[in-house]
Structure 1
Amino acid sequence: MSTRPEPAEFRDLALAHAMQAIEAGGALDDAGEMALAHARHTSDQGRLLERARLLAQRLGLVDEWARLRTGLWVAGGLLGVLAFLLAGGLLTRALGSGQTVNAAFAFVAMLGVPVVALLVWVLWALASAGSARAAGPWSLGKLALGLAARLPGLHGPHAMSLLRGVNAVLREHRLGLWVFGALSHLLWALAFALVLASLLMLFAFQSWSLTWETTILSPAFFEGFLQVTGWLPRALGFPVPDAVTVNAPPSAQGAQAMAWWLLASALFYGLVPRLVALVVCALVWQRRAMRLSLDMSDPYFRQLLTRFQAMDPPQVVDAEHAPPHVQGPQAFRPRSPGEAVGRVLIGFELPSEMVWPPAALAAQVHAVHTVAGTMSERLHLLTTLASAPAVDAVFVCAAAASPDRGAERFLRQLCSHTHRCALLPLGRGPGGAWIEGDKPGRWADWLKASELSAVQLCATSADAAQWLASDAASLPTGTT
């Protein structure tokens, strides 16, 4: 068996690792999810990811994922402002000291921190090229993801487990350096775009005198500084101050040349390198995203695969004479337009003295199932329904029973892979005869409290028969 199966979606892998983080504190009750995943998929990875998706829906991690994405946008905006302050804060301080500005100090204030941060990232990328641990240095991207999972109002009960799942996928596939780097480069690029816009506005509508001022450095040092930093802008056609301008008294022509030098430096040493690094990170992500998959050698996933293998039907040596149920389960598919819909009647934990099935419904359905309450019966029914085309199901129970979490979970699992689902509670009258319409208000309140709005509550068998007839196609009838 290959340790790297077919490619998978990043979100599905993150949910699978988030389930691993949650179950580190204790195994979840996943019998229903295991049965559905086993019936819907035949590959090992497909079953593992389907189980994780079903559990994530039950625990609310799918909504948690949406909140994490929203939080990432919010955190990105906040850190974009921080990057702007780091790139332009000292520049603003330098430009805010009247109309005379030290050009060299403005250059260092604008590009000092961002260039050092970029060099650190480049050196880390080169050093981590052949390393199995390429998580990346501290960056705005890593800070953004951590902040997104902790923002008030967007922080759910499993936010940290989901964050650990995301980090596990990034670490396992050596993507942390590139994903966090892409986020960081994007924030810095936005910050420098704002810096450029701010400089253009200031230089276009205000008169500034950019000069060279120093106490201990000689003019020759600034001449060399301009020669080195101005080489690329000059090669691309931007005006750059020369030695004569540096040593001459302040003038409008000299200030204009220094202003264009500052603008060109912000563009070529601040914005453009970040855009290039962002493109590199995006290309690496696109290439490695095609090979994302679960690590089947992980003990957690190996244990789950062992449970799935125990659910496989027995092997048949003579495949030609194998019964239909051992040919492999069919993947579940929702109803498509024009597709025939079967109708099934399900009795759940009904009293033995009750006449079953009700005569008014027996003739309207294609199959009748009885579940006494054991887990094996529930799993068998769920597997049968998951392997069949879409059906309309009427769920019949004793009205006097107290709805519990087990019934709620079973009904929710039925809804997840049936076309429609209805609930029919039957009660017992004063004379001992079974009647219909008993305590409908209590069951309606329970459906509302359980957020099972997709389940239609029927008061009588006639209502259930009418509900079935409202949207169903005919199939050969039979009772099981």
Structure 2
Amino acid sequence: MLSPQDQLTELVRTLETQQHVFATDPLLITEKLQNEDGKPLQKLHRRASRIDSNGALARVLGKIDARIKGIMVVMSVVWCISGFLGLFTLLQTNVVNFFYVLVCLLGFHTIMLVGWLLMTLLNQGKQSSNWFASFVSPSYLIRGKDDVTQAAVDLYERQLQHSGMRWYLGRFSHQLWLATLTGMLFAIIFLLIVRQYSFSWESTLLSDQALISLTQVLGWLPSMVGFNVPDSTAIVQSRLVTDAMPLSVARQWAGLLVGSLLMYGIVPRAVAWMFCALMFRRKKMRLDIKQPYYQKILNFWQRQVVDKDDFEAAPAPIAPKATVSAGKKLVALLEYPSEQEQWWLSGINTDFDGNNDVENFGIVDDRDDMARLKTYLDNHPVQVLLGIHEKALPDRGTLRKLDQIASHAKDGLIVQLLGETGLIADKSEQETAGLEPVSENKNMRYQQWQTALSARNIGLVTDNK
């Protein structure tokens, strides 16, 4: 069967698909667990326990499990008592036919054990008939019409139909046989303590020598662990005994009887029980977390963690810093005028030599302005400083003008972004300088120009004041 944690987790899944109202909201618990550490199965167990915060689901599962185990214990006790009483009834005479009693003790048991072994070898990997599931159906063990009880009953019935249950049932069958044989052993020891028996044997077909050989073969394994075995003289003397026999001979037969019950009955059955227990552990039903219900939860947890750990915002493009040449400059405004007469001084005054000439071209706006500027640049090797007002948008038309100017400027093109008071700085620079920060729209437009200039490798003049 499933472990108690797996049972509770599976019961929560069944009830949640049936829209059951839990003590704690499953969605809330799922969200809280997304940042907790642990393996997927451990987190699913934790989730189920927190959803069942009042323990109602665990109590129903525990009640069914306790009643199934209680029935198994009661049946084992009954089988033990039946074995004790059966052998107690069989040994009511003072003279006991040894081989007759031995066949009664181990004959049917040996046939059933060999039959189980053959069926196990022949039915490898096949589902055995689940008589235990019908005999101990959970619906007989607990009464209730509520959805929790019905879901728990269905869960146990599904477990009883699992292929690994053949080993669980085999283990229980061997447990009943062990209980019966143990009851017989208690009866033999008790009767041998309180009564004195004589042991005999009878046979029409077998000679004394044949019985001697048979007894020695039968006594080989018990003698290996210290039990007494009758010798040849004791075996011959025990034929057709009708009254009391020497105590030493009786003790030899009693030791062989107890040793045979242990070595040919209890020990092989205990080995079979341990084999079924090991196979059941290997084939034990596991929680199938590949079901869509569990995968949806696990994917939610994994997706949240992966996004949080792996996401890195791409850095915004930044225009290269302008390099101001020592030669002649041509300054011009693109489309919009500036309120400052010598607006270019705020960006390049520290790089100027007083003897250098600066020619102010004015505003470049329409086609005539562009044609006049290109003609001038084709005839004069100057570096162009282009002032762009904050109102100018880096649309296709404006960027086309920028590309044309850059292609005709023989000593290169640099750009200075202007605001109402001159250069537009970013927010952090303005706060450092003690200026009032610009609006979000201005910052956005400033970044758009940064991106456009970076793509064209056009230098941007920074404030050197």
TM-score under structure 1 normalisation? 0.50
**2:168 aligns with one of 155, 172, 179:** 179
Taking the aligned partners of 1:274 and 1:41, their CA distance within structure 2 comes to 50
Between 1:36-45 and 1:257-266, the stretch displaced more is: 36-45
SS across alignment from 2:66: helix
Counterpart for residue 270 of structure 2? 275
The answer on 1:32 being equivalent to 2:28 is no
SS across alignment from 2:221: helix
SS across alignment from 2:241: coil
Instruction: Decide whether the 8 Å contact of 1:239 with 1:257 is kept in 2.
Output: yes
SS across alignment from 2:199: strand
Question: CA shift at 1:205, angstroms?
Answer: 1.6
Taking the aligned partners of 2:215 and 2:150, their CA distance within structure 1 comes to 49
Which structure 1 residue ranges, 5 or more long, are not aligned?
Answer: 1-7, 323-480
The answer on 1:14 being equivalent to 2:7 is yes
SS across alignment from 1:101: strand
Counterpart for residue 205 of structure 1? 194
The answer on 1:295 being equivalent to 2:284 is no
Question: CA shift at 1:267, angstroms?
Answer: 1.0
The answer on 1:259 being equivalent to 2:250 is no
**1:95 aligns with one of 91, 95, 120:** 91
Instruction: Decide whether the 8 Å contact of 1:146 with 1:163 is kept in 2.
Output: no
Taking the aligned partners of 2:309 and 2:271, their CA distance within structure 1 comes to 59
Aligned length: 299
Taking the aligned partners of 2:71 and 2:130, their CA distance within structure 1 comes to 16
Q: Counterparts in 2 of 1:295-314, with a 5 A limit?
A: 295-297=288-290, 301-306=291-296, 309=299
Taking the aligned partners of 1:60 and 1:110, their CA distance within structure 2 comes to 48
Instruction: Decide whether the 8 Å contact of 1:149 with 1:159 is kept in 2.
Output: no
* Distance change >3 Å, CA 67–CA 57, structure 1 → 2: farther
Q: Percent identity?
A: 21
**1:195 aligns with one of 165, 184, 191:** 184
Taking the aligned partners of 1:160 and 1:239, their CA distance within structure 2 comes to 58
Q: Counterparts in 2 of 1:57-72, with a 5 A limit?
A: 60-72=56-68
Question: CA shift at 1:273, angstroms?
Answer: 1.9
Counterpart for residue 466 of structure 1? none
Instruction: Decide whether the 8 Å contact of 2:222 with 2:260 is kept in 1.
Output: yes
**1:247 aligns with one of 239, 249, 272:** 239
SS across alignment from 1:247: coil
Counterpart for residue 442 of structure 1? none
SS across alignment from 2:196: coil
Question: CA shift at 1:257, angstroms?
Answer: 2.6
* Distance change >3 Å, CA 102–CA 38, structure 1 → 2: farther
The answer on 1:238 being equivalent to 2:227 is yes
* Distance change >3 Å, CA 225–CA 67, structure 1 → 2: farther
Instruction: Decide whether the 8 Å contact of 1:17 with 1:169 is kept in 2.
Output: no
Counterpart for residue 414 of structure 1? none
RMSD: 4.4
The answer on 1:119 being equivalent to 2:114 is yes
Q: Counterparts in 2 of 1:38-437, with a 5 A limit?
A: 38-41=31-34, 45-46=41-42, 48-54=44-50, 60-85=56-81, 87-96=83-92, 98-129=93-124, 131=125, 133=126, 142=132, 147=136, 149=138, 161-162=151-152, 165-166=155-156, 168=158, 175-213=164-202, 218=206, 226-241=215-230, 242=232, 243-247=235-239, 249-250=241-242, 251-252=245-246, 253-284=248-279, 293-297=286-290, 301-306=291-296, 309=299, 315=307, 319-320=311-312
Question: CA shift at 1:110, angstroms?
Answer: 2.0
SS across alignment from 2:30: helix
Taking the aligned partners of 1:68 and 1:212, their CA distance within structure 2 comes to 51
* Distance change >3 Å, CA 238–CA 316, structure 1 → 2: closer
Taking the aligned partners of 2:53 and 2:174, their CA distance within structure 1 comes to 34
Instruction: Decide whether the 8 Å contact of 1:40 with 1:47 is kept in 2.
Output: yes
One-letter identity of the residue aligned with 2:57: L
Taking the aligned partners of 1:261 and 1:160, their CA distance within structure 2 comes to 54
SS across alignment from 1:193: helix
Between 1:30-39 and 1:73-82, the stretch displaced more is: 30-39
* Distance change >3 Å, CA 110–CA 41, structure 1 → 2: farther
TM-score under structure 2 normalisation? 0.51
Question: CA shift at 1:82, angstroms?
Answer: 3.2
